[in-house]
């Protein structure tokens, strides 16, 4: 089966699987690779420059990688065969990067308001606590229970350092918000995969697709815009129960659209 997958798509798939396996192997030895290769907000003390690229190959769990790799195989194979390996790789990486950029731009606007409300607090204290939490999580087995425990410990330590300040509920909530932004990594190829989804729709608008929860064939030219509108709504709504990086999806989708529109225009001029 792998022999029938185009070379770039196949290699991206293999790299993702290797990273996923490495994540669980290293977790068993007390090292959480999400803290090393996941993408942190650039202002976070846990951010490293390579995370801009490496986060595209990390995934939260089996379901996460399963759906992304299915999308890579299903849509990436077609797009690569249509536009060629080099252009395909460039588009894939650019979509992932722009997903990272748009997600962090939205985070910047959220955190600007949060930081303004914390003008009476030394924000470096929060950064130092976020760094200590990051180091603790990195050298753990990465289970959600242990991560929550480490974060709560650091928040309690931070609170004790701020005992000379009257903390209202609003201020306390904003401290937690900023601390969480500094200690939560974005992982996954979803931004790049959304670029492939939109690229496929622009290339083959009449192709029929189906949602898992709505098994009715819908043409790509209708399916993808509906999906993008839903992503935008979920991103704006910013529900607390929904940890998905919707703006990363939208950033990747924008690249997929613009890249293929430009490719089609140049193809037309060539003839």
pLDDT digits 0-9 by tens, 187-230: 999 999 999 999 999 999 998 877 665 677 888 888 888 888 88
Above 70 in pLDDT, residue 53?
yes
Q: Chain-wide mean pLDDT for the chain?
A: 90
Task: Note the pLDDT of residue 128.
Answer: 95
The pTM of the full predicted model, rounded to 2 decimals, is 0.90
Above 50 in pLDDT, residue 248?
yes
Task: Note the pLDDT of residue 40.
Answer: 97
Burial group, residue 233, by CB count within 10 angstroms (0-12, 13-18, 19+): exposed
Above 70 in pLDDT, residue 240?
no
Task: Note the pLDDT of residue 163.
Answer: 78
Task: Note the pLDDT of residue 2.
Answer: 61
Cβ atoms 103, 244 nearer than 8 A: no
Name the DSSP class of 186. Answer: B
What is the length of the chain?
Answer: 271
Q: Give the whole-angstrom CA distance, residue 255 versus residue 269.
A: 21
* Domains, the chain, with CATH or none: 2-270 (1.20.1540.10)
Q: Give the whole-angstrom CA distance, residue 76 versus residue 8.
A: 9
Question: What digits encode the pLDDT tens for the residues 2-28?
Answer: 668 999 999 999 999 999 999 999 999
Structure tokens belonging to residue 29 = 């030895």
Q: Give the whole-angstrom CA distance, residue 225 versus residue 202.
A: 11
Above 60 in pLDDT, residue 271?
no
User: Given pLDDT bands bounded at 50, 70 and 90, which one contains residue 241?
Assistant: very low
Question: What digits encode the pLDDT tens for the residues 110-153?
Answer: 899 999 989 888 899 999 999 999 999 999 877 888 999 999 99
Rounded alpha-carbon distances, angstroms, from residue 152 to 67, 85, 114, 241: 32, 46, 20, 19
Rounded alpha-carbon distances, angstroms, from residue 248 to 22, 73, 216, 235, 244: 24, 20, 27, 9, 9
Task: Note the pLDDT of residue 89.
Answer: 98
Q: Which residue has the higher pLDDT, 216 or 238?
A: 216
């Amino acid at each position: 089966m792998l022999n029938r997958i185009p070379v770039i798509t196949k290699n991206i798939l293999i790299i993702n699987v290797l990273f996923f396996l490495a994540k669980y192997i290293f977790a068993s030895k007390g090292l959480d690779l999400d803290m090393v290769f996941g993408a942190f907000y650039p202002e976070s003390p846990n951010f490293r420059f390579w995370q801009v690229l490496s986060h595209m190959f990390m995934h939260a769990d089996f379901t996460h990688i399963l759906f992304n790799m299915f999308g890579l195989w299903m849509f990436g194979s077609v797009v690569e065969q249509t536009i060629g390996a080099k252009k395909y790789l460039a588009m894939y990486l650019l979509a992932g990067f722009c997903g990272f950029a748009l997600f962090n731009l939205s985070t910047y606007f959220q955190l600007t308001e949060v930081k303004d409300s914390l003008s009476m607090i030394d924000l470096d204290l929060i950064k130092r606590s976020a760094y200590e939490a990051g180091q603790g999580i990195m050298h753990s087995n990465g289970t959600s229970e242990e991560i929550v425990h480490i974060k709560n410990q650091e928040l309690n330590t931070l609170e004790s350092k701020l005992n000379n300040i009257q903390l209202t509920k609003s201020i306390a909530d904003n401290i937690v918000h900023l601390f969480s932004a500094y200690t939560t990594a974005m992982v996954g190829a979803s931004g790049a995969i959304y670029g492939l989804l939109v690229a496929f729709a622009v290339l083959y608008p009449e192709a029929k697709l189906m949602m898992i929860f709505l098994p009715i064939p819908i043409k790509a030219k209708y399916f993808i815009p509906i999906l993008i509108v839903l992503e935008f709504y979920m991103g704006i709504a910013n529900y607390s129960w929904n940890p998905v990086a919707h703006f990363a999806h939208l950033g990747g989708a924008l690249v997929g659209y613009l890249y293929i529109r430009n490719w089609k225009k140049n193809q037309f001029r060539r003839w």
